[in-house]
């Protein structure tokens, strides 16, 4: 074999292995064929007076710097009605994971009326960038056997929690009236009917400490729809939500994506 041919074959093999390595270890979220997406909002206790004004420190051993999670209750009559999860839903044709997550947050958090952001502004807010990174992690749950392909954006909403807390129920009431006037029982803006806050550490512990069950309950602070006061209640987590974030909370091995902060978990 002459040197030129040997060099060409060697170069070809190196290229094949290099490309395979990229495909295996650095998949692209842009080409991931997701079926659903979600936005899990995080915030610091100090960014929500409703928590700081409660007698929450004495009974929960919390600190103003604690990280909390915003969950919402699925309305009765819908799939998994009565359970709590983040804003989430199925992908529409042609959407990227970011677009699906943005439109679900826009609809279920009613962001146009709660925080004054349209769907394109929410998409921009969720987009992980070098500056002003609100999204801390992007969790990809990929289970081919069960055809479960979900992308969850874990995103800080510190500066918007007061507005969401104060405006959500009024916005929901208006959307319910609009749906009724249109002769509809539900609309894309009325699929969640309660707000609840849970500590990040408590959510992680309940999932990690129950590795064989996705039907979990935990303590939460639920926002009263009329008074906006917080009441400590035991809530049920939506099973599919638990499934999609379990590997992340259990700190299982993952494949780092090409895009920043993306973690691919394959079952």
* Per-domain boundaries in the chain: 31-266
Whole-number pLDDT of residue 23: 43
Whole-number pLDDT of residue 144: 85
Q: What is the pTM of this model?
A: 0.87
Whole-number pLDDT of residue 13: 45
Whole-number pLDDT of residue 133: 87
Spatial neighbors of 187 by CB under 8 A, at least 6 apart, are 175, 178, 179
Q: What are phi and psi of 135, to 5 degrees?
A: -85, 120
**What is the H or E stretch that residue 245 is in?**
helix 239-249
pLDDT in tens, 53-94: 765 544 455 677 899 999 999 999 878 899 999 999 999 999
Q: What is the number of residues in the chain? A: 267
Whole-number pLDDT of residue 54: 66
Whole-number pLDDT of residue 10: 44
Whole-number pLDDT of residue 260: 85
pLDDT in tens, 87-123: 999 999 999 999 999 999 999 999 999 999 999 999 9
Structure tokens at 71: 């969950």
- Cα–Cα distance for residue pair 124/131, rounded to 1 Å: 12
Whole-number pLDDT of residue 101: 98
Q: What are phi and psi of 106, to 5 degrees?
A: -60, -40
* DSSP per position, 42-95: EEEGGG-HHHHTTTHHHHH---TT-EEEEEEEEPTTSTTTT-EE-EEEEPPTT-
Whole-number pLDDT of residue 3: 52
Q: How many angstroms separate the first and last alpha carbons of the chain?
A: 45
Q: What average pLDDT values come out for the chain (267 residues) when binned by 10 residues?
A: 48 42 70 96 93 60 84 91 96 96 98 98 90 91 91 97 97 96 90 97 98 97 96 97 98 94 93
Q: What are phi and psi of 257, to 5 degrees?
A: -80, 165
Whole-number pLDDT of residue 82: 96
Whole-number pLDDT of residue 15: 43
């Amino acid at each position: 074999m002459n040197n030129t041919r040997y060099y060409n074959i060697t170069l070809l093999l190196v290229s094949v292995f290099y490309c395979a390595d990229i495909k295996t270890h650095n998949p692209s979220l842009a080409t991931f064929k997701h079926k659903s997406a979600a936005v899990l909002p995080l915030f610091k206790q100090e960014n929500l007076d409703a928590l700081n004004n409660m007698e929450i420190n004495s009974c929960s051993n919390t600190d103003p710097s604690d990280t909390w999670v915003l969950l919402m209750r699925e309305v009765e009559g819908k799939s998994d009605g009565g359970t709590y999860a983040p804003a989430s839903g199925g992908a529409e044709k042609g959407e990227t994971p970011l677009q699906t997550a943005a439109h679900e947050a826009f609809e279920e958090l009613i962001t146009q009326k709660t925080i004054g952001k349209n769907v394109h502004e929410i998409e921009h807010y969720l987009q992980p960038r070098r500056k002003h990174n609100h999204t801390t992690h992007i969790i990809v749950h990929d289970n081919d056997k069960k055809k479960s392909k979900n992308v969850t954006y874990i995103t800080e909403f510190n500066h918007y929690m007061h507005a969401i807390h104060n405006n959500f129920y009024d916005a929901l009431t208006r959307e319910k009236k609009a749906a009724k006037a249109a002769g509809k029982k539900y609309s894309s803006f009325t699929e969640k009917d309660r707000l609840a806050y849970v500590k990040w550490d408590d959510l992680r512990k309940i999932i990690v400490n129950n590795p064989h069950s996705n039907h979990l309950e935990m303590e939460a602070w639920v926002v009263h729809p009329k008074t906006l006061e917080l009441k400590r209640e035991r809530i049920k987590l939506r099973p599919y939500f638990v499934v999609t974030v379990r590997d992340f909370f259990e700190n299982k091995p993952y494949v780092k994506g090409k895009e920043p902060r993306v973690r691919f978990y394959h079952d």
